[in-house]
Amino acid sequence: MTSAPIPQNTAVLENGTDINLENGLEGEVVDPIYNIKAAVLNGAIQEIGMGRYQWGLAIVTGFGWLADNLWPVATGLILPPVIQEFDFEGPFLKLGQNIGLLAGAAFWGIGSDVWGRRISFNITFFIIGIFATVAGASPSPTTLISLVSVWSIGVGGNIPVDSAIFLEFIPASHQYLLTVLSIWWAFGQLLGSLVAWPLIGKYSCKITNPPSCTRASNQGWRYFLFTMGGLMLVPWAIRFFAFNLYESPKYLMGKGKDEQAVETVHKVAEYNRKESSLSIEDLRRVEKENNVKTSGNKVDHASAANVLHRYLSKFDQNHVKPLFATRKIAFSTSLLIILWALIGLAFPLYNAFVTYYLATRGADFGDGSIYITYRNQVILSVIGVPGAIIAGYLVDLPLLGRRGTLAIFTLLTGIFILASTTARTSDALLGWNCAYSFTSNVMYGVLYTITPELFPTKDRGTGNALTATANRIFGIMAPIIALYADLKTSVPIFISGAIFIVVGFIALLLPFESRGKAAL
């Protein structure tokens, strides 16, 4: 067979179907064979369409978004009563959490590229549920901080893994749903606030200075952790027992396991009660027409140590380097890391301490009761829910797309945070915070979408891990800053708002727009 050049924009399957090769990286993918194979699989998923499997996946991966927001918010929700009971520096609780989130993001994100998506997907919620429940019985701040760190290792792995899984199974025509999926993120904050309102609001000591409280009169935060930890075992059980997650076809293809990739596509089609015309020859033909020799991709299972060494070697050579392989891709990857890093500092600096800030400012305004504080937190959570739905609409508008929507709503988030410092009544403060809650949910919805779209599948877990790790590293800085700043002043708020405004302008510099293009 004579060698044929790799087509620029299309590939043709054995059955004559034309496959569009346009993608969010605008042809910058380093491996052109992978480019065409990914496009073939994209065409096969598009042929199957959005069916029962994908809608089920939207639910079980949505749990990951819920946990990603719920547990960082949860530590903020328990912060006031915990400080009252243990009388310690509250930012240490957030520091322990962010160290756990950092470890989880790096470990699970990279691991999903090494041993696949399924293991990470099936275990993270179990870790969260068990250790969060045990944390409710903590006898000291040291024990509580340690357990928060461990459950956060499970939390940190959800978004890097779940966003990759969802993106790799949905047809290009429905990629906007990755943005809408962040509605689960808003539900996470809402769920935590709704549970905290009656439990912490009713069974907590009054905020006093200096803190003075006994365990017997301050059971609310413990009831809260018992409840939320137990609830996390429900999505774990659904994932583990009720939903059969198939390994990603594009992940398998990226590992050289073309036959398994085709088999998975047919399993998804069967689950959706449809048929797929994809065959192994469609993928082999790409290699044959471009003189690519394969060796069958047999794996030596003789030694576990050899397997680990081989996979770590692949990670070093095949997952990080492609993310910086060309000047344009390197610029894109670097900007994404910077965006996530700065937001990782700004968001917890404000949101993690907003409950304490509202309580102390409310006390200044004369209505700083525990009940009012957690009622306001529920209101903020409700306001954030429609943000994800609106974001799903805006990201597909021609004049806005992913970049424009991200830039505008990040700028607005910073503006509303700064404006909140002008509040002179509790109602005004609540109003500015409602505006912030809405725009920040739109921002996160877009950010969670554009990030995995700009990484090819075989390196997506690693790319997500890099951005998530940067996010968590800078998140560690937030409680350190808080340790040296007076949380009763507006200084942390000014820092957070300014960072969001800077990030809004940086978002405009992203070199790729993935609107209307299939993710590789």
CATH code for the domain in which residue 143 is found: 1.20.1250.20
Lowest mean pLDDT among 30-44, 122-136, 173-187, 480-494: 480-494
CA 517 to chain centre: 21
| Residue 176 included in any domain | yes
pLDDT interval class at 5 (50, 70, 90)? very low
**Residue at 22 is within a domain:** no
Task: Please tell me which of 103-117, 159-173, 252-266, 299-313 the model is most confident about, judged by mean pLDDT.
Answer: 252-266
What mean pLDDT is predicted for residues 49-73? 93
Q: Please give the pLDDT value at position 365.
A: 63
What percent of the chain stands above pLDDT 90? 33
Residue 196 lies in a domain: yes
Is the pLDDT at 313 greater than 70, yes or no? no
Query: Is 435 a residue whose pLDDT tops 60?
Result: yes
Report the relative pairing of strands 18-20 and 10-12 from DSSP bridges: antiparallel
**Alpha carbon 466 to chain centroid distance?**
12
pLDDT for residue 491: 73
Which range, 70-74, 349-353, 428-432, is most confident? Answer: 70-74
- CB neighbour burial string for 303-314, b if at least 16 within 10 angstroms, e if fewer: eeeeeeeebeee
SS3 assignment, position 20: strand
**pLDDT given at position 297:** 41
Looking at per-residue pLDDT, the higher value among 362 and 198 belongs to 198
Q: What is the pTM of this model?
A: 0.74
Cα 448 to Cα 443: distance, rounded to the nearest angstrom: 9
What does the block give as tokens for 200? 């912490």
Of 513 and 393, the one with more pLDDT: 393
Residue (of 322, 338, 319) closest to 330 by Cα position:
322
Is residue 125 included in any domain, yes or no?
yes
Note whether residue 287 is domain-resident.
no
For residue 51, which amino acid is it?
A: G
Phi, psi of 19 (to 5 degrees): -115, 125
The answer to whether residue 346 is domain-embedded is yes
Q: By mean pLDDT, which of 13-27, 402-416, 502-516 is the weakest?
A: 13-27
pLDDT class of 147 with cuts at 50, 70, 90: very high
396-413 mean pLDDT = 88
Mean pLDDT of the chain: 81
With respect to residue 178, please indicate whether it lies within any of the assigned structural domains. yes
Range(s) of the domain holding residue 358: 52-246+321-507
State yes or no: pLDDT of 142 exceeds 80. yes
Number of domains in the chain: 1
d(CA 310, CA 304): 10
Q: 146 or 433, which is more confident?
A: 146
Distance linking the first and last C-alpha atoms of the chain: 28
Query: How does residue 465 score in pLDDT terms, banded at 50, 70 and 90?
Result: confident
At residue 518, the pLDDT reads: 47
pLDDT of residue 8: 44
Answer whether residue 257 is part of any domain: no
With the CA atoms of 376, 440, 494 and 87 taken in that order, what torsion angle do they form, in degrees rounded to the nearest 10?
Answer: 50
Q: What is the mean pLDDT of residues 347-365?
A: 64
Band the pLDDT of 424: cuts 50, 70, 90: confident
**Cα–Cα distance measured from residue 483 to residue 204, given in angstroms and rounded to the nearest whole number:** 24
Count, residues in the chain: 520
Give the residue with greater pLDDT, 364 vs 343.
Answer: 343
* Sequence-distant (≥ 6) Cβ neighbours of residue 323 within 8 angstroms: 329, 330, 333, 455, 459, 462, 463, 466
Among the ranges 136-140, 348-352, 361-365, 392-396, which has the highest mean pLDDT value?
A: 136-140
What pLDDT is recorded for position 246? 93
Residue 183 near residue 391 (C-beta atoms within 8 A): no
Task: Say yes or no to pLDDT of 311 above 70.
Answer: no
